[in-house]
Structure 1
C-alpha cells in the first residue's frame, strides 16, 4: 500500500500539486486520470521518488520516503517495476537481453537463474520463441508485453504504468489492460496506472482518482464514475463520443 498525505510541489512560481491526499491499495489497479496539465505526470514522478515534494508525505508500507536514508531508498527502488509510455525497450538488445536487464542491475542471481526467470515472465505475458528477436521485429502490442515482462522480472511490490495503451489499437489495448490487472492480482502488487484512456478506466478501474489543476477532485471506482454529479469528472468522462452515447443510453433507460 502507498499512502499520500497532503503533498505539494511547485516549480518556480507555479504550484503543480496542491495538497493531494490518497491511498493506493495493494492487489488493485489504482488509476490516475485527468486532462493534460492536471499534474498526473508530476504526481507519478513524486511517487517514484524522481521528484521530492515541497511538503507532505508519501508513505510506503508505513515508512515515508522523506524519512528513508540512501540505502533504504535504493532498496525501495528495487521493489518498483515501471512500464513506460512507449515501452522504452533497448533497440540494440534482443528481447531476452531487454527483460534480463533489471536482473543484471539489481539481482545476484546466476546467469542460468536469470534466464529461467526471463523465460518464466515471458511465458506469463504469453510470449514464447521471441528471445532472440529485436524489438523492431515484433509488433507494438508484443513490445508492450515485453515491457511488462521486464517490469515484473524482479518480483516488484509496486508497479507503475505510464499511459500503457499509448499507440495501441483498441483490441490490443484491452489485452494489455487485462494483463496488467491479472498480474496485479496474481502477484498481489500495488499497481498505479497513469492514463487518459476511459476504456482502460472501465476495463480495470478498481480505484480511480481524478486530478484537475493539481488537486484531487474525485475518487471512486468504475461503477461510480458514471453516477457522480461532479461536473469536472463528467466533462472529462464524456469528452469521448463513445461515452456520450453510453450516457445518453443510460438517460433513455431511466425515462
Structure 2
C-alpha cells in the first residue's frame, strides 16, 4: 500500500502538484488519469522517489520515505518495478539479458538462480521461447511483455507503469492491460499506472485518480466514472476515442 498525504511539488515558480492525498491499495490496479499537463508524470516520478516533494509525505507499506536513510531509500527503490512508456529495452542485449539486468544490479544471486528466475517470468508473460531474440526482432506487444517481465523479475512490492499501451493497437493493448492486472493480483503488488487511455480505465480501473492542473479532482472506480457529475471528469471521458466509438456504435444501431 502507498499512502499519499498532501503532496506538493514545484519547479521554480511553477506549481505542479498542489496538495494531492490518496491511497493506493495492494493487489489492485490503481490508475492515474488526466490531460497532458495535469501533473501525472511528476506525480509518478515523485512516487518513485525520483523527485522529493516540497511538502507532504509518502508512506510505503507503513514506512515514511522521508524518515529513511539514503541506503534505506536505495533499498526501497530496488523493490520497485517500472514499465516505461517506450519499453526502454537495451537494443544490444537479448530479451533474456534485458530481463536479467535488474537481478545483476540489485541481487547477489548465482548465475543459475538468475537464469531460473528469468525463465519463470518470461514464461509468465508467454515469451518462454524468446530468450535469444533481440528487441528489434520483437513486435511492440512483445517488447511491452518483456518490459513487464523485467519489471517483476526482482519480485517488487510496487509496480509503476507509464503509459504501458502507448503505440499499441487496441487488441494488443487489452492483452497488456489484462496481463498487468493478472500479475498485480497474483503477486499482491501495489500497482500504479499512468494512462490517458479510456480503454484501460474501463478494462482494469479498480481505483482511478483524476488529476487536473496538479489537483486531485476526482477518485473512484471504472464502475462509477460514468456516473460522476464532476465536469472535468466528464469532459475527459466524453472526449475520448473510446466514448466516440461507443457513441457511434449506438447511433448506427438506431439508424
TM-score range, shorter chain: over 0.9
Asked whether the 8 Å contact 2:198–2:242 carries over to 1, the reply is no
Matched residue, 2:253: none
Separation (CA, whole Å) in 2 of partners of 1:249 and 1:219: 28
Separation (CA, whole Å) in 2 of partners of 1:138 and 1:75: 32
Separation (CA, whole Å) in 2 of partners of 1:33 and 1:100: 31
Deviations 1:71-90 (A, max 9, x none): 21011011100000000000
- How much has 1:200 moved relative to structure 2? 0.4
The 5 A counterparts of 1:24-35 are: 24-35=24-35
Separation (CA, whole Å) in 2 of partners of 1:108 and 1:47: 26
Matched residue, 1:206: 206
Matched residue, 1:194: 194
Matched residue, 1:223: 223
Secondary structure of 1:226's aligned partner: helix
Separation (CA, whole Å) in 2 of partners of 1:66 and 1:248: 50
Matched residue, 1:132: 132
Using the size of structure 2 for normalisation, the TM-score is: 0.96
Matched residue, 2:165: 165
Matched residue, 2:98: 98
Using the size of structure 1 for normalisation, the TM-score is: 0.96
- How much has 1:92 moved relative to structure 2? 0.4
Separation (CA, whole Å) in 2 of partners of 1:161 and 1:223: 22
Unaligned residue ranges in structure 2 (runs of 5+): 251-255
Matched residue, 1:19: 19
RMSD of aligned alpha carbons? 1.4
Secondary structure of 2:123's aligned partner: helix
Separation (CA, whole Å) in 2 of partners of 1:21 and 1:246: 33
The answer as to 2:149 corresponding to 1:149 is: yes
Separation (CA, whole Å) in 1 of partners of 2:185 and 2:77: 21
Asked whether the 8 Å contact 2:3–2:23 carries over to 1, the reply is yes
Matched residue, 1:3: 3
The 5 A counterparts of 1:106-117 are: 106-117=106-117
Matched residue, 2:180: 180
Deviations 1:17-63 (A, max 9, x none): 00000000000000000000000000000000000000000111111
- How much has 1:242 moved relative to structure 2? 3.3
Separation (CA, whole Å) in 1 of partners of 2:241 and 2:59: 39
Unaligned residue ranges in structure 1 (runs of 5+): 251-255
Aligned length: 251
Separation (CA, whole Å) in 2 of partners of 1:56 and 1:145: 35
Matched residue, 1:78: 78
Matched residue, 1:239: 239
Deviations 1:156-212 (A, max 9, x none): 000000000000000000000000000000000000000000000101000000000
The 5 A counterparts of 1:49-64 are: 49-64=49-64
Separation (CA, whole Å) in 2 of partners of 1:76 and 1:243: 39
Deviations 1:87-141 (A, max 9, x none): 0000000001000000000111100110010010000000121111100011110
Secondary structure of 1:236's aligned partner: helix
